[in-house]
Amino acid sequence: MSSSVPARLSSVLADVFGAAPEAITLETAVGKLEGWDSFGHLQAVLALESEFGVQFDPAKIPELTSVAKLKAYLEGKGVAWE
Amino acid sequence: MTATDPRLAAREALKLAAERGDAVALAAALRALLQAGPKPGDYAFASARLLALDDQAAKGAGLRPLRVFCARSVTVEPLLPQLVCAGAAAGLVLRVEVGGYGSFADELTNPAGALARANPELVLLIGDAEDLAGDLRPACAGGSGEEIAAAAEATGRALAGLIAGLRRHSKARLVVQGLLQPDRPALGDVADANLARGEGWAIAEVNAALARACREAGDAVLFDVDRVASRCGRARFRDERMFRSNRVAVSAECFEPYTRALVRAIRPLYFPARKVLVTDLDNTLWGGIVGEDGPDRIATAAEFPGNCYQEYQRLLRELTRRGILLAIASKNNPPDVEEAFARRERDILLRLEDFAAVQIGWHPKSEMLRTIAKQLSLGLDSFLFVDDNPVECAEVQLALPEVLTVNIPAAEPWRIAGLVGAALEVFDQLSITDDDRGRVAEYRAQKQRAELEAGAGSREEFLGSLGIVCTALSALDAPLSRTAQLLGKTNQFNLTTRRHSAGDVERMARLPGSQAWAVRVRDRFGDAGVVGVVLCTAQASDCVIDSFLLSCRVIGREIEAALLWLVGRHAIAAGQRRLIGEYLPTKKNPPCAEFYASHGFTVVDAARTPLGTSAGTVYEYDLQSGPPPLPPWIRFEESTP
């Protein structure tokens, strides 16, 4: 498991939160980026579902509050980074 | 060498355009991105950059900025980036403020509430049946017709009350999303279909009540979301997981068709409908090439594949019923085409006379379209062009980007009617009036007038022989929907191009000393219907002409002079001493630039008029020696005020 943010993940989050891809690190979390509020979070989840062809468990969605957690969750869904 | 991904190229172009603040390039890049099949992140990326444009820059790129307030009971936020992109593709920058989940009723009806404070130009009401019509489904479950009817009536009345409540304090335009039909009706498929009243019936009733409330409110439109859901498939349209957990009422895979349909509902509130469909003949109106196959062997018949072409012909015939004009642009020898229409009269569902303009020859298609536009006195931006040949389509797109071009596949004739049908949203309008229905006959009369003019000695003799009668009507009774339609879509002979809504006209007509006229024109060849509008306000001792417009199909008969006479006469009767006219130039209205100057008006400094300032040219006409003259060949009638 790599310790940086995979480009496919950071580019989706950067688009949705209106940030530069470099600004997305594993530590980036809800409330730390201007666009990452509760609606931004939902929008990010929907975009990630479409990008990676997975479905998030709605009960888990509110808990995935950082890039590291999102990355780990996607890996748990079988997403492999190139 | 790596192939460039058009999606990434469009993104890069969009980013560069945003950095340079180049709104025109940004709009073009956005169109390219939408065509390339964007990902969800791309919509967010593009919409953020679009919304960062200031209003002035947006206008410079031909985009109209709109302050939008969305009253809602469901989560719309994740949809907004796609809505903004779809809006931009249709020429709008939608700056959306979203209301609270449980406060939509207060927002709509409270004159001091959040919506009123936002002072929006457009209001969207987006709710789910669970929130807007919560009593309906339980009432339907028992299968009692009386109970169902009572619940539908009560729900319809409550929702209509919200619309009327908004209209009492706001003149914003309004789009109301209707209710969705349930995928699984309360009584089950069989009972719901067979009982006189079931849930399906009740939902349709409530939607009809909403449409009625929109018509009564004016400047309001029902967005038939159920139509989109049925096109997408109702089960696919909603993602129960996201609806139950986050109140997102549309599945992410249907965001694109949903937002596009919502913009389609918004568009007729702001943009005039196109008016003309120009069709190619060979492998489009019929199968085969008439010049090579001969009139007897082209495919147009009740059997396959001729029935595919008949389906397209049927679609075109339907369009003429609501006033959309048809024209032909075809590379052929005219006698071949005439022979085909004559010999295959029973198999071709249209006659050559059904086409308001016909261009058959060997000029480039763009040139043919230009000629048709001139013949019909209509702008090319009101044209839709259908052709099977990609080269012809590309030639038209390049030479005349304002024409909407539909390239149909020659090898798959069964797709023609569907592809053209999907493009017909550019003909969408909120109301279809008698004037629309009479338009095709009116253009036929226009052709006869042109023939008469060619044979007449002088212009006066020709005009005198037409027997023109103008009837002045109150702009409120033209009917008002026709007045609003003319204000919304007249481009060429329109002195100020102020797009007043029906509500604006009502308010203006109520002001003391004001005049609000619509004019109906007929002659010995036919009735052109209501074709002109004049709105004037009284300011001190002046009659200020706020709006003056005439449909281009009656230009050249001095109807406009007769209208000045009408306004002048009434201004004198009201004790006013001057007519003040204003010309505000647009890209489209140079044909009327000299109108006031050539009708006895003189240029005056705006500061010496009640206008104070003007972005155009201001004119005055002294009424002391009477109104501007009425042309001798026009008889003027006034209906009772």
Structure tokens at B379: 């702008």
Size of interface A-B (CB pairs under 8 A): 54
- Can you say how many angstroms the Cα of residue B415 is from the centroid of all Cα atoms in its chain? 25
Q: Are residues B396 and B468 in the same domain?
A: no
Sign of CA dihedral B565, B567, B572, B577: negative
Instruction: List Cα–Cα distances, B500 to A53, B210, B427, B489, in angstroms.
Output: 48, 24, 21, 11
Domain identity same for B264 and B281: no
**DSSP result, B402-424:** TSEEEE--TT-GGGHHHHHHHHG
Q: What pLDDT is attached to residue B641?
A: 45
In a domain, B109, yes or no: yes
Q: Is A16 on the interface with B (CB under 8 A)?
A: yes
Q: Which domain holds residue B81?
A: 63-269
Beta strand B357-361 with B383-387: parallel, antiparallel or unpaired?
unpaired
CA distance A65 to chain B (A): 16
Tell me if B246 and A15 make a contact (CB, 8 A cut-off): no
Are B254 and B281 part of one and the same domain? no
Answer yes or no: is A2 within a domain.
no
Nearest chain A residue (CA) to B247: A42
Inside any domain, residue A81: no
Are residues B65 and A39 in contact, defined by beta-carbon separation less than 8 angstroms?
A: no
Mean pLDDT (10-residue bins), chain B, 641 residues: 79 93 91 92 95 92 95 97 96 96 95 96 97 94 95 97 96 97 94 96 97 94 97 94 96 96 95 95 97 95 95 96 96 96 96 94 96 92 96 94 95 96 91 86 83 81 89 91 90 93 92 94 88 94 96 86 95 95 93 94 95 95 94 84 45
- Range A8-15 average pLDDT: 95
- Which residues of chain A are within 8 Å of residue B241 when distances are taken between CB atoms? 55, 58
A38: in domain: yes
> Based on the structure, what is the number of domains in chain B?
3
Residues B126 and B232 in one domain: yes
Both B286 and B251 in a single domain? no
Q: B250 Cβ partners below 8 Å, 6+ apart?
A: B79, B237, B238, B239, B258
Q: Is residue B215 part of a domain?
A: yes
For residue A37, the enclosing domain spans: 7-76
DSSP state letter for B354: G
In angstroms, the separation between the Cα of residue B3 and the nearest Cα of chain A is 20
Question: Is residue B37 a contact partner of residue B64, using CB atoms and an 8 Å limit?
Answer: no
Secondary structure of B506-518 in HEC code, one letter for each residue:
HHHHHCCCCEEEE
Distance CA B532, CA B472 (A): 10
CATH number for the domain that contains residue A65: 1.10.1200.10
Q: Which residues of B touch A46 (CB under 8 A)?
A: 40, 78, 242, 248, 252
Query: By CB neighbour count within 10 A (0-12 exposed, 13-18 middle, 19+ buried), where does B391 fall?
Result: exposed
* B21 vs B417: CA distance, rounded Å: 41
pLDDT digits (tens, 9 = 90+) for B476-510: 998 898 999 999 889 889 999 999 998 899 999 99
Whether residue A42 and residue B78 make contact (CB cut-off 8 A), yes or no, is yes
Question: Number of folded domains in chain A?
Answer: 1
On whether any CB of chain A is under 8 Å from the CB of B246, the answer is yes
Q: What is the CATH number of the domain that holds B111?
A: 3.40.50.1110
Q: Is the Cβ–Cβ distance between B344 and B300 less than 8 Å? A: yes
From B235, B250, B269, give the residue that closes a domain.
B269
- Residue B501 placed within a domain: yes
Whether the CB-CB separation of B508 and B516 falls below 8 Å is answered with: yes
DSSP B593: T
Residue B17 within any structural domain of the chain: no
Residue-level pLDDT at B2: 53
Residue B287 lies in a domain: yes
Answer yes or no: do B41 and A16 touch at CB < 8 A: yes
Mind giving me the DSSP string for B266-299? HGGGTSPPP-EEEE--BTTTBBS-HHHH-TTTSB
Residues B241, B266 contacting (CB under 8 angstroms): no
Q: Is B89 on the interface with A (CB under 8 A)?
A: no
Q: Which of B241, B269, B297 is the last residue of a domain?
A: B269
Q: How far B361 CA lies from chain A's nearest CA (Å)?
A: 51
CA distances, B380 to each of B96, B131, B153, B444 (Å): 32, 45, 46, 20
In whole angstroms, what is the distance from residue A78 CA to residue B489 CA? 55
Does any domain span residue B538?
Answer: yes
Residue A1 lies in a domain: no
Strand partners, B469: B522, B635
Is residue B217 in a domain?
yes
My answer on whether B538 and B577 are in the same domain is yes
Instruction: Please tell me the predicted confidence (pLDDT) of residue B556.
Output: 82
Residue B405 sits at φ, ψ, to 5 deg, of: -110, 130
**What is the rounded distance in angstroms from the CA atom of residue A6 to the CA atom of residue A67?**
10
Q: How close A54 gets to chain B, by Cα (Å)? A: 12
Quote the minimal CA–CA distance from B241 to chain A in Å.
Answer: 7
The pLDDT, as a whole number, for residue A2 is 46
At B640 the pLDDT is 53
Nearest residue to B637 (alpha-carbon basis) of B418, B471, B404: B471
- Assess whether B421 and B460 both reside in one domain: no
What pLDDT, in 10s, does the model give residues B218-242? 999 999 999 999 999 999 999 999 9
Do B361 and B479 lie in one domain? The reply is: no
Q: What is the CATH number of the domain that holds B415?
A: 3.40.50.1000
Residue with token string 């010999």: B343
pLDDT of B577:
95
Pairing of strands B578-583, B617-622: antiparallel
At residue B1, the pLDDT reads: 41
Same domain flag for B362 and B412: yes
Q: What single-letter DSSP state applies at residue B629?
A: P
Whether B329 and B378 share a structural domain:
yes
Q: What is the CATH number of the domain that holds B463?
A: 3.40.630.30
Quick check: is B34 in a domain? no
Mutant choice from B8, B14, B45, B246 vs A, greatest count of A C-beta within 10 A:
B246
Query: What's the residue count for chain A?
Result: 82
Give Cβ neighbours of residue A32 (< 8 Å, ≥ 6 apart): none
DSSP string over B140-160:
HHT--HHHHHHHHHHHHHHHH
User: Which of B119, B118, B159, B113 has its CA nearest to residue B136?
Assistant: B159
Whole-number pLDDT of residue B439: 86
* B158 and B82 share one domain: yes
Within an 8 Å CB–CB cutoff, is residue B51 touching chain A?
Answer: no
Residues of A in contact with B7 (CB under 8 A): none
Please check whether residue A66 lies inside any domain of the structure.
yes
Partners of residue B619 on adjacent β-strands: B581, B603
Mutual angle of helices B459-466 and B439-455, in 10-degree steps: 140
CB contact under 8 A, A51 and B39: yes
The complex scores an ipTM of 0.94
Q: B281 and B156, same structural domain? A: no
State which amino acid sits at residue B277.
L
- Whether the pLDDT of residue A1 is over 50: the answer is no
Nearest to B42 among A15, A49, A58 (CB): A15
Q: Is residue A55 part of a domain?
A: yes
- Residue position matching structure tokens 């109150």: B474
Report in angstroms the alpha-carbon separations of B74 from B183, B206, B387, B617.
Answer: 19, 19, 43, 49
* Domain membership flag for residue A23: yes
Residue A50 within a domain: yes
